[in-house]
Amino acid sequence: MAIHIVGLGIDPDILPEAHKQLITDADVLVGGKRQLAAYATPDTESIAITAPLSSVFEAMASSYHARKKVVVIADGDPLFFGIGDRIIKEFGSENVIIHPNTATVQAIASKAKVSWQHMHMVSLHGRNNYVPLYTSVMQYDYITVLTDNINIPAVIAQKLLDRGVSWFRMSIFEDMGTENEVVSTCSLEEASNRSFSKLNAVFLERIGQPPHALRIGIPDTELTTERNLITKRPVRSVSIGLLELKPQHTMWDIGAGSGSVSIEAAHLLSKGAVYAIERKSERIDLIRQNRARFGAVNVDVRHGDAQKNLDDLPTPDRIFIGGGLGSDSTLLEPLCDRLRQNGIIVANCTLLSSLEIAKNHFKALGWEYAVTLIQSATSHPLAGDVRLDSMNPIFIISAHKPASGNHTEK
């Protein structure tokens, strides 16, 4: 005997007869309080899906082993951000039968007249991690967002506005599948100031592009800077290469300045995030301007001293130090401690003394390190020909934290 999981779809009133019969014949119904109130009868045992799920699974297992007909009822489709996946993992795929139905994304696609294979799905239901949404608006034209009572449309719109997003509009689907269904399409600014029904889903549609294309090797002139203080393109390219970024990585940019390294790194972190930490307030605005200019939405800008503002940041896979290494290892110590095992830290050093401090620190830790000297020059017109203007030489030191290194994860 298998556990049956029945999807109620968007409109339970048009539930297939076979689904209705499974629910009617059940000895035990499992579902949310709202679903149980609609389908449970006095003759049916009920198990409400509440936290902790371990207790729910224990109760289900007891009924299942007693050879009772256990039926789980779920909104939408059980395998679209639903409980179906958890139940399969708990009881084994051979002991579970899924009865699919119309998922939220399918219903939204039909109403928005968009092929749903072109839509990307993000769930913020019961989640507080917005990185998947930020990376989605960088890559996709159509995005469906599942909401909850905290992550409401107004909050989602404001989060995007705060990161400079202006190239999407929002449609809010309220009370889908009921007689009170309403679809509203508006700008992010309008959505951020409106209230909607508690039962809703969000559809984001691209209506434009950021002012500049996000890419590796951005010309220095395209970035907003303070007195042209910036990690120059040749150094930036080598530094990012030495970081060996993978799509899912979390990166810290310490002393981010204008955010040039953060912006380009964001392009490679298609599933990850960059935390740009800068202590000078006037530079914080520069980073935000560049973030909006290039649509690097997954760059999280933090204002403050790096040594005092690390505790609330997620554990980094990569750390970049563009400046402000200081005259001792005071900054390096907490950074090396927080870096994830097998992580990489890269520091740019203009002064030989800074290079020596970093080298000695990594050597004392027993980490493998390497030093790269970048001495580049750029051409400028002169008398019908070109001349080369040299840039200041930069030492780039990169170090690898071994798997056995001590670290503190958050």
Phi-psi region of 257 (alpha: psi -120 to 50; beta: other; left: phi over 0): left
Cα–Cα distance, 242 to 226 (Å, whole number) = 26
Name which residue leads in pLDDT, 345 or 389: 345
Residue whose token pair is 């960088």: 138
* 3-102: in CATH 3.40.605.10: no
Residue whose token pair is 């029904």: 197
DSSP letter at 340 equals: P
Kindly tell me if the per-residue pLDDT of 80 is higher than 90.
no
Q: What is the mean pLDDT of residues 192-209?
A: 96
pLDDT for the residue numbered 14: 83
Q: Which residues contact 227 (CB under 8 A, 6 or more apart)?
A: none
- CATH fit for domain 220-400, picks 3.30.2420.10, 1.10.760.10, 3.40.50.150, 3.40.50.2300: 3.40.50.150
Tell me the per-residue pLDDT of 106-160, one tens digit each, with 9 for 90 and over.
999 999 999 989 999 999 999 999 999 999 999 999 999 999 999 999 999 999 9
pLDDT for the residue numbered 408: 47
Name which residue leads in pLDDT, 194 or 103: 194
pLDDT for the residue numbered 277: 95
* 105-206: in CATH 3.30.950.10: yes
Tell me the per-residue pLDDT of 358-410, one tens digit each, with 9 for 90 and over.
999 999 999 999 999 999 988 989 888 999 989 889 999 999 999 974 544 44
pLDDT for the residue numbered 327: 75
What average pLDDT is seen over the chain? Answer: 93
Tell me the per-residue pLDDT of 227-260, one tens digit each, with 9 for 90 and over.
888 999 999 999 999 999 999 999 999 999 999 9
Domain residue spans of the chain: 3-102, 105-206, 220-400
